[in-house]
Amino acid sequence: MQRTLSISVASIAMIAASPVAHAQQDEQSADAMQAELSAMRATIDAMNDRIEALEAELARTRTDAPGASEPAALAAQQSALPPAAAAPAEAEEAPVTSIAWKGAPVISHPDGWSFKPRGRFNFDAAYLSAPESTGQDNGFSSEARRIRLGVEGTVPGGFGYKAEFDFAQSSVLTTDAYIDYVDGKLTVIAGQHNTFQSMEELSSSLHTSFIERAAFTDAFNFERRVGLSGQYITKDWLVQLGVFTDNFDTLQDNKNAGGDLRFAYTPRIGTTQLHLGASLHYYDIEDDGLIRYRQRPLEHPTDVRFIDTGVFSADSENGLGLEATAIMDRFHVAGEAFWQHVERTGFADPTFFGGYAEVGYFLTPGDRRGYKKGIFDRIRPANPVNEGGPGAWQINLRYDFLDLDDKDITGGEQNLYGLSLIWTPTHYTRFLLNYAYIEYDGSVYPTADGDTSYGVNSFGARAQLDF
């Protein structure tokens, strides 16, 4: 700035002096002109000295003034400070809580906390047609099959939690309620959760291919129980092992206890997902224990069970299950078999059997049955309706067999032939239609002429949403 002012003043003076010099050229000598220019230069030098003094004074005034914000003042302040204090250390950024969406908001924090509300709604309607003289020709019925609400999430250190309750019945029932710990491929669970029996039983009711599961899973009383378990899952293998007491809602009424082991080979070959598994079950029943095996006709709104062992004494249960599934793009096949052997004191030990075989096909290109970690998983339509597509359309055929006759127990036998049509418009909504023709042999409800072998028609429909 100083140099600019000096040059500017000198230029103005020279321009102003130029016409005077020309006007007096004829009157003044060269010596006079030189004297006049020397005097002018001296004046300019004095003015430059004064400008420098004023600028220095201004800089000191700005530096000393409180709240000074000009760059020169800040530079002067910083130059006077030690290097470490010249630029204040940047404050560490605080971890940011994030919100994602997975059917419901998932709130998570970088330190390991997360929280997600969860729930599902299943609304069912059914129609049952049986021989009128049995007295069990129920006709139409409906119910809220499931109304579940709960929460799940994680806790720093690898821990997690899940709690879910069902409000569909006259009293609130506890479904899942547990704490888990995850370390890579290992998961340990303490609390109420599924025992390790049957691929179909372990698959969520949100992802089954029929409104109700295979008959043997309900007949043999597969359910969630309080216990401690561990599972180890790799790319191609899974092993699950647990010890269990009883369901949370009946825990105080008995002292039953047992254990379950399940393992499976789960390779993916190209686009084909394979699953070959087996399970072992043992359940010790308290002294003078009573059990009962029975099953509905592929619909839950009715309370009719055409096959039923009635209540009988038992000391323990021993179960063996086999599982096989292949998912090949739009096509899938699945089947299971389960033998339930009952130990009794003073009576013969019966063995009951159930199993199913199923084929399914997606009518919509790009869709396939979901699979994850040894169970059936969510179907995610390739073209959901919220993106202008038709959603996923699926048809399934199933044969379902259950035999509750052995030794001195005569509970009856069923052969079920089922057809289902499923529309999955979005990831979190489904609509299902079922039809089943069920042949009974040894039904507990005879006709008027005493016949216990006859057929029953069962229709079912469901509207489903979860988050």
pLDDT tens track, the chain, 467 positions: 444 433 343 343 343 344 444 444 444 455 666 666 666 777 777 776 777 766 666 666 555 554 444 444 444 444 444 444 444 445 566 678 999 999 999 999 999 999 999 999 999 999 999 999 999 988 999 999 999 999 999 999 999 999 999 999 989 999 999 999 999 999 999 999 999 999 999 999 999 999 999 999 999 999 999 999 999 999 999 999 999 999 998 887 778 999 999 999 999 999 999 999 999 999 999 877 899 999 999 999 999 999 999 999 999 999 999 999 999 999 999 999 999 999 999 999 999 999 999 999 999 999 999 999 999 999 999 999 999 999 999 999 999 999 999 999 999 999 999 999 999 999 999 999 999 999 999 999 999 999 999 999 999 999 999 99
Run of H or E residues at 440: strand 429-441
267 and 391 assigned to the same domain = yes
155 and 63 assigned to the same domain = no
Exposure class string for 103-114: b at 16+ Cβ within 10 A, else e: beebebeeeeeb
Among 82, 116, 131, the domain-final residue is 82
Mention every residue, 6+ apart, whose C-beta is less than 8 A from residue 303. Answer: 296
Is pTM beyond 0.95? Reply is no
76: three-class secondary structure by DSSP: helix
Among 29, 49, 82, the domain-final residue is 82
77 and 177 assigned to the same domain = no
72 and 116 assigned to the same domain = no
- Is 91 within a domain? no
Mention every residue, 6+ apart, whose C-beta is less than 8 A from residue 210. Answer: 298, 396, 398, 418, 420, 432, 434
Q: How far apart are CA 98 and CA 96, in angstroms?
A: 6
78 and 107 assigned to the same domain = no
Exposure class string for 188-212: b at 16+ Cβ within 10 A, else e: bbebbbbbbbbbbbbbebbbbbbbb
The enclosing domain of 275 has a CATH number of: 2.40.160.10
φ, ψ (nearest 5 deg) of residue 48: -60, -40
175 and 137 assigned to the same domain = yes
The total number of residues shown for the chain amounts to: 467
261 and 320 assigned to the same domain = yes
Q: Whole domain around residue 424: which residue ranges?
A: 103-466
Among 26, 53, 82, the domain-final residue is 82
- Is 135 within a domain? yes
25 and 111 assigned to the same domain = no
253 and 320 assigned to the same domain = yes
Structural domain count, the chain? 2
Please report the DSSP string for 339-386 in residue order. Answer: EEEEE-SSS---EEEEEEEEEEEESSTT---EEETTEEE----SS-GG
328 and 452 assigned to the same domain = yes
- Find the farthest-apart pair of alpha carbons in the chain and give their distance in angstroms, rounded: 156
Q: How far apart are CA 322 and CA 355, in angstroms?
A: 9
261 and 209 assigned to the same domain = yes
Instruction: Answer yes or no: are the C-beta atoms of 370 and 345 closer than 8 Å.
Output: no
55 and 123 assigned to the same domain = no
